[in-house]
Amino acid sequence: MRHHGDAHHPGHPEPHHHWRDQRRVLVTGGAGFLGSHLCDRLLRDGHDVLCVDNFYTGTKRNIAHLLGHPRFEVLRHDVTFPLYVEVDDIYNLACPASPIHYQHDPVQTTKTSVHGAINMLGLAKRVGARILQASTSEVYGDPHEHPQTERYWGNVNPIGVRSCYDEGKRCAETLFMDYRRQHGLDVKVARIFNTYGPRMHPNDGRVVSNFIMQALAGDPITLYGDGRQTRAFCYVDDLIDALVRLMNTPPDFSGPVNVGNPVEMSMLDIARQIVACTRSTSELVFHPLPQDDPTQRCPDITLAREVLGWEPRTALEVGLARTVEYFRQQFFLAPMPVPA
């Protein structure tokens, strides 16, 4: 049976499922950019999905197409408070992810990462669930090793403006590994590198959403610094596939494992690609570089290739075209008020 939410993903017909394959899955941060795509995927795979979100940076619009789906449920809840539910798998994604959002209330950001991890680990321990943490390439800070492998310990400022996020995520990794060592939990840690796609927040200040919104509006494209800092961008569908594969690894594998697209490029490169893709007339302008902005970042995904049998498949032009189309539809063709 197909549901209206599946219409966005014509490439994935719903397979036949045996009831024993069906799992009760909790997705925290399920109304966010990545979380909503993960809910889509898990429902398509036949699972029962509980989306928990406090709508801090996520929106009901991201999951509106799933309301009414018989295997989907949503609960407004803040993960810094205890949660008592019965589930088999937990994907812990709750946390603001863009620098503008996580620096807006930095104390809450650390609480979400740390108290949120403790509560979700306590829940996993009580019910014997598998639990996956959405960690980040930010644990590597401004890296001195390039590209970054999982063995690199990172170069993180503990007292800067990005620390609430970076150190919060590092502490969450510590908690995950200690619940594994101390309580024998089946934990998985994914270190997610920059990801883009439909349902990115239009005003979250991340580079892909910023540049696309600016290009579509014909506004200047704002490059920070000289635009030669690098990142590597993974399309959301590829990323979600990696998370699902990681959850399904044997209990003796916890990672951490890098997930991202190892195609490194400068912000100037991505600006030019987005201008070309949107056929925009926007000019490029330069602004000061934010504090602690990493100068280069690119994942070494050897481990993901070996253990998950995974690598990104979506070329940047293809992913960008889909993302541009989403932004055009949502914010330019049928103009909706852009959320603050």
Question: So which residues are the catalytic ones?
Answer: 165
Q: Does 275 bind ligand NAD (CB under 6 A)?
A: no
Q: Which of 50, 54, 139, 221 binds ligand NAD (CB under 6 A)?
A: 54
Give the per-residue contact string, 307-326, with ligand NAD (x = CB under 6 A; - = no). Answer: --------------------
Q: Which stretch binds ligand NAD (CB under 6 A): 23-31, 83-91, 267-275, 319-327?
A: 23-31
CB nearer to ligand UDP: pick between 291 and 329: 291
Q: Does 31 bind ligand NAD (CB under 6 A)?
A: yes
Angle CA(130)–CA(94)–CA(144) in degrees, nearest 5?
90
Q: Which residue is nearest to ligand UDP (CB)?
A: 122
Taking the complex as a whole, how short is the minimal distance between the CB of residue 82 and ligand UDP, in angstroms? 3
Q: Which residues on neighbouring strands pair with residue 284, listed in sequence order?
A: 221
* Structure tokens that stand for 321 in this block: 């075209």
State the Cα–Cα distance between residues 22 and 71, nearest whole angstrom.
10
291: helix, coil or strand?
Answer: coil
Taking the complex as a whole, how short is the minimal distance between the CB of residue 202 and ligand NAD, in angstroms? 11
* Contact yes or no for 44/13 (Cβ under 8 A): no
How far is Cα of residue 82 from the mean position of the Cα atoms in its chain?
23
* Structure tokens that stand for 324 in this block: 């541009």
State the Cα–Cα distance between residues 162 and 59, nearest whole angstrom.
24
CB nearer to ligand NAD: pick between 113 and 278: 113
Q: Does 34 bind ligand NAD (CB under 6 A)?
A: yes
Q: Which of 5, 29, 198, 202 binds ligand NAD (CB under 6 A)?
A: 29
Taking the complex as a whole, how short is the minimal distance between the CB of residue 86 and ligand NAD, in angstroms? 19
State the Cα–Cα distance between residues 17 and 72, nearest whole angstrom.
16
Identify the CA nearest to 174 among candidates 117, 116, 97, 125. 117
CB nearer to ligand NAD: pick between 112 and 282: 112
State the Cα–Cα distance between residues 105 and 324, nearest whole angstrom.
30
CB nearer to ligand UDP: pick between 96 and 99: 99
176: helix, coil or strand?
Answer: helix
Give the per-residue contact string, 84-103, with ligand NAD (x = CB under 6 A; - = no). Answer: ---------xxxxx---x--
* Contact yes or no for 30/36 (Cβ under 8 A): yes
Q: Which of 192, 303, 316, 320 binds ligand NAD (CB under 6 A)?
A: 192
Taking the complex as a whole, how short is the minimal distance between the CB of residue 54 and ligand NAD, in angstroms? 4
Strand locations in 93-219 (E): 130-136, 187-192, 195-196
User: For binding to ligand UDP (CB under 6 A), which residues are involved?
Assistant: 82-84, 98-99, 118-119, 122-123, 125-126, 194, 205-207, 210, 222-224, 229, 231, 267, 290, 293
Look at residue 31 and give the partner it binds from ligand NAD, ligand UDP, none, a contact being a CB closer than 5 to 8 Å depending on partner kind: ligand NAD
CB nearer to ligand NAD: pick between 24 and 199: 199
Give the burial string for 234-259 (b: 16+ CB within 10 Å, else e).
bbbbbbbbbbbbbbebeeeebbbbbb
Q: What share of the chain is helix, strand, coil (3-state, %, to 5)?
A: 40, 15, 40
State the Cα–Cα distance between residues 258 and 320, nearest whole angstrom.
22
Identify the CA nearest to 270 among candidates 206, 186, 193. 206
Taking the complex as a whole, how short is the minimal distance between the CB of residue 48 and ligand NAD, in angstroms? 20
CB nearer to ligand NAD: pick between 189 and 280: 189
Interacting residues toward ligand NAD by CB under 6 A: 28-29, 31-35, 53-58, 78-80, 93-97, 101, 112, 116, 134, 136, 192, 194-195, 201
